Structure 1
Amino acid sequence: MHLHDAWFVIIAVLWTGYFFLEGFDFGIGVLTGVLARDRAERRVLINTIGPVWDGNEVWLLSAGGATFAAFPDWYATLFSGFYLPLLLILVCLIVRGVAFEYRAKRAEERWQRAWERAIFVTSLVPAVLWGVAFANIVHGVKIDAHQEYVGGFWDLLNPYALLGGLVTLALFTFHGAVFASLKTVGPIRDRARALATRVGAVTAVLALVFLIWTQAHSGNGRSLVAMLVAVAALVLALAANLAGREGWSFAFSGVTIAAVVAMFFLALFPDVMPSTLNPAWSLTVGNASATPYTLRIMTWCAGVAAPLVMLYQGWTYWVFRKRIGTQHIAEGAH
């Protein structure tokens, strides 16, 4: 395997980790406006991800940085062509981080509700836009002979991409609802399980249509295997949720996300951004990669840093593993 092929796989793993972790993170943010009934329950939901949300975003920084260093032409074309949606995602992530930190700085309900609405909106919008972005990458975009994106913003909002956005929103919300049932106690836990069942059913329908469409347009034998794994894992996640096995349901919903991301990258390879104007103008792992020397240096650095980051993040989840409920929220605390 060439180093550029290996780094394509590494970037796929980084995106998988990001969507697995930030998926339930975004889902919890959406649920603050859907599941929680009062101030205490909103705080419970926020506290389930309070210690870990910023660590989850490390995976996005790693994926973006690895793409920039390993495939500079891919990074340049992607970030110039998808400038507006990616800028909107970035703004949402900035506001979302500020909302988590500033919400509890003052006790007034109006102040806290404003930041809670910000958490809801800035969780929902990226959950949709990431699906739109990756759907366009897999489906192909208008790239000319100079490896430049020549389409417009509205070209990105095609029916296939919009369906992809709905799928990621539904899948992340389902993932978040299962996580909420796994991390909470009391009535909010029961409602989270019930909501996960309803959202999971909608997710299954949307995902099945989207995955079949993806396989028919861009798929191959490898992506077909990933699609079957994604469908089976989603069914098992729903079944485990109905049986009250929240840990298994969360594990299988995570496998679903991982399999969907794997399907995207398996359908892409060896392309990284297919051109709809001329297949010969597509960006591939060969023509978009950095020099072999750069890739070798990156490999040594990643081999040292990545295990340390994963160990630290795993320790964080272990420390904050216990369930919480409204009874753990001190009366009058903000």
Structure 2
Amino acid sequence: MELHDVWFVVIAFLWTGYFFLEGFDFGVGVLTKLLARDRAERRVLINTIGPVWDGNEVWLLSAGGATFAAFPEWYATLFSGFYLPLLLILVCLIVRGVAFEYRAKRGEERWQRNWEHAIFWTSLLPALLWGVAFGNIVRGVKIDADGEYVGTVLDLLNPYALLGGLVTLALFTFHGAVFTALKTVGDIRLRARRLATVLGAVTAVLALGFLGWTQLDQGNGASLAVAGVAVVALVGAIGCNLAGREGWSFALSGVTITAAVAMLFLVLFPDVMPSSLDPRWSLTVSNASSSPYTLKIMTWCAAIAAPVVMLYQGWTYWVFRKRIGTHHIADASH
């Protein structure tokens, strides 16, 4: 296996980790409007992800940085062609971080309510737009012979990509509901489980349509097998949620995300951005990659740094593993 193939797999792994981890905290952000009934419950939801949301975003920085270093042509075409949606995602992530930090700076209801609105919308929009972006990457976009995107923003709003956006929004919200059930106690835990059942059913319908469309259009044997894993895991996650096994349900919803992302990268390889104008103009792992020497240096750096970061983040989750409820909020107020 060539180093550019290895780095394609590494980037796929980084995006998978990002969607697995950031997926549930996007979902929790959306649930601040769908599940929470009052300020105390909204604070409980925010506190479930408070210690980890910023660490989850490290995976996005790593994925973007790895793409820039390993596949500069891919990075350049992606960020120039998808400039507006990626800029909107970036603005959402900035405002979302500010909202988490500033919401509790003042006690006025209006102040906190406005920041809670910001948390909701800046969680919902990225969850939707990431699916649209990856749907377009897999489907193919208008890339010319010079490797430049020559389409418009409206070209990105096609039915396949929009369905992909709905799938990621539904899947992340389901993932967040299961995580909420896993991390809370009392009435909010029970309502999270009930809502997760509904969200799981909606996700299953949307995911079957999107994965089936992907398989029929570009799939192969490996992608079909991985899609099957995603479907079985999603059904298992819904079943475990109904049985009150939140830990298993969360693990299986994570497997669903992992398998779905793996399927997209399997149908994409060896392309990194297919051209819908002419297949010969597609960006591939070979014509979009950095030099072998650059990839070699990156491999050594990643082999040293990545395990340290992953161990530290795992330790963070272990420290903040206990459940919380509204009674903890009451204690904190004293």
CA distance in structure 2 between the partners assigned to 1:191 and 1:77 by the alignment: 44
CA distance in structure 1 between the partners assigned to 2:314 and 2:332 by the alignment: 33
User: Which residue in the other structure is 2:106 paired with?
Assistant: 106
CA distance in structure 1 between the partners assigned to 2:112 and 2:309 by the alignment: 32
Does 2:14 match 1:14? yes
- The percent identity for this pair of structures is 81
Q: Give a deviation string over 1:184-226, Cα, whole Å, max 9, x none.
A: 0000000000000000000000000000001111211111111
CA distance in structure 2 between the partners assigned to 1:333 and 1:84 by the alignment: 42
User: Which residue in the other structure is 1:179 paired with?
Assistant: 179
Q: Give a deviation string over 1:134-177, Cα, whole Å, max 9, x none.
A: 00000000000000000000000001111000000000000000
Q: Give a deviation string over 1:75-103, Cα, whole Å, max 9, x none.
A: 00000000000000000000000000000
User: Which residue in the other structure is 2:226 paired with?
Assistant: 226
Shift in Å, 1:40: 0.3
Q: How many residues align?
A: 334
CA distance in structure 2 between the partners assigned to 1:253 and 1:271 by the alignment: 28
User: Which residue in the other structure is 1:157 paired with?
Assistant: 157
SS of match in other structure, 2:143 = coil
CA distance in structure 1 between the partners assigned to 2:203 and 2:264 by the alignment: 18
Structure 2 residues not aligned, in runs of 5+: none
Does 2:139 match 1:139? yes
Shift in Å, 1:332: 8.1
SS of match in other structure, 2:34 = coil
User: Which residue in the other structure is 2:129 paired with?
Assistant: 129
User: Which residue in the other structure is 1:260 paired with?
Assistant: 260
TM-score, normalised with respect to structure 1: 0.99
CA distance in structure 2 between the partners assigned to 1:80 and 1:266 by the alignment: 24
TM-score, normalised with respect to structure 2: 0.99
Q: Which amino acid aligns with 1:207?
A: A
CA distance in structure 1 between the partners assigned to 2:83 and 2:225 by the alignment: 33
Does 2:192 match 1:192? yes
CA distance in structure 2 between the partners assigned to 1:150 and 1:333 by the alignment: 55
User: Which residue in the other structure is 2:43 paired with?
Assistant: 43
Q: Which amino acid aligns with 2:13?
A: V
User: Which residue in the other structure is 2:314 paired with?
Assistant: 314
Q: Give a deviation string over 1:2-51, Cα, whole Å, max 9, x none.
A: 00000000000000000000000100000001100000000000000000
User: Which residue in the other structure is 2:281 paired with?
Assistant: 281
Q: Give a deviation string over 1:280-319, Cα, whole Å, max 9, x none.
A: 0000000000000000000010011100000000000000
Shift in Å, 1:238: 0.5
User: Which residue in the other structure is 2:96 paired with?
Assistant: 96
Structure 1 residues not aligned, in runs of 5+: none
Tell me which stretches of 4 or more aligned residues in structure 1 moved more than 6 Å. none
